[in-house]
Amino acid sequence: MQENAHTSHYICTVRPSRAKALGLARAEIAALLRDCDATLPSGGPLSERSGVFWVGLPDVHAPTLEERAVRLGYTERIEELVATAPARRVRPGGPLKWKGSWYEPLSVWESDRKEMRVSSPDMRDFALRGEDGVVRSAHGYRGDGSSLGPKALPVPDCRLLLNLVFAPDARSVLDPFAGAGGVVHEACRIGYSVTSMDREPSVAPGLEGFGSAHHTGTADAMPFDRESFDAIATELPYAENRPQIIGRWTQEMLRVLRPEARCAIMCSIPQRDLIAGAAHRGAATVDVSEEVDRRGVDVAVLVLRR
């Protein structure tokens, strides 16, 4: 990027637990600022460090960055490089030299660790309907532990998926594999009109309690009209690898998306190629395809654009 008086440069630091997923952290900010003429060059000051990238942003959009940064999942800190006088000596966290000029990193935003912790699944109450039909509160519910059963994504991953489908005019979002409601909880929290689906009747009260319009059913035959939603964000059950059902899920998600809308999917590595193939057959574009290590298990994140 050519430096000029109307562009500011920002250093972004990825949270340690997601530091190896730098490509996803970059994609998340690029999506969140897709209407702000942001650029994300591969180089830049401190980019040799693990988990660091930088963003160039026209000054007119600086307020938008500060407003939207609170949504970020994978990035934990943003600093602006402000021109300063030459430093007599270099010190950690102090002025740094870049392209012959000196800059001071000034904090723009930092993740609220307490807020992130309070929002995590193990800190929330979740209403479950038992086999006897009685609804009971289950504090810290994260799923039933089965390979195909409901589960709750960590907060950073939920925010990542929602940010990858961000559009300034998007109002409605669907999670067709809602499980224990990680994505639903975050989407409701930031003001989306949220619709959820899951095949397990037991989780319906909890999802409705978060504020979702919930439907019990399977994602291979969704009860929604064509072009019903502005965005989809979801995590698939990783154990399901039948090409026919993966293809049907993908077709249904694309069917209910509005034109030019996006679908962010966290899935297993084997599922990734099946989804991408079905998307191409459905004339959709794969905008993002990256991997992330989830506690020793590699999973993939795809963004499809209808």
**Distinct helix (H) and strand (E) counts, the chain:** 8, 14
Amino acid at 25: A
Closest CA relative to residue 198, chosen from 232, 231, 234: 234
pLDDT for the residue 147: 64
Sequence-ordered list of residues with C-beta below 8 angstroms from that of 38, at least 6 positions apart, any chain = 29, 30, 55, 56, 57, 61
pTM of the predicted model as reported, rounded to 2 decimal places: 0.93
- What tokens were used for 15? 């949270």
pLDDT for the residue 2: 43
SS3 45: coil
How many other CB atoms sit within 10 Å of the CB of residue 246?
A: 23
pLDDT for the residue 50: 86
pLDDT for the residue 148: 64
Where does residue 42 fall: left (phi above 0), alpha (psi -120 to 50 degrees), or beta otherwise?
alpha
Domains of the chain, earliest start first:
7-111 (3.30.70), 116-305 (3.40.50.150)
Q: Mean pLDDT per segment of 10 residues, for the chain of length 306 residues?
A: 67 94 97 96 79 94 97 97 81 76 91 93 94 95 74 92 97 97 96 97 96 96 97 95 96 97 97 97 96 87 97
Closest CA relative to residue 116, chosen from 18, 41, 39, 26: 18
Contact between 266 and 275 (Cβ < 8 Å): no
Q: In this structure, what is the dihedral angle of CA atoms 196, 200, 202, 203, given to the nearest 10 degrees?
A: -30
SS3 185: helix
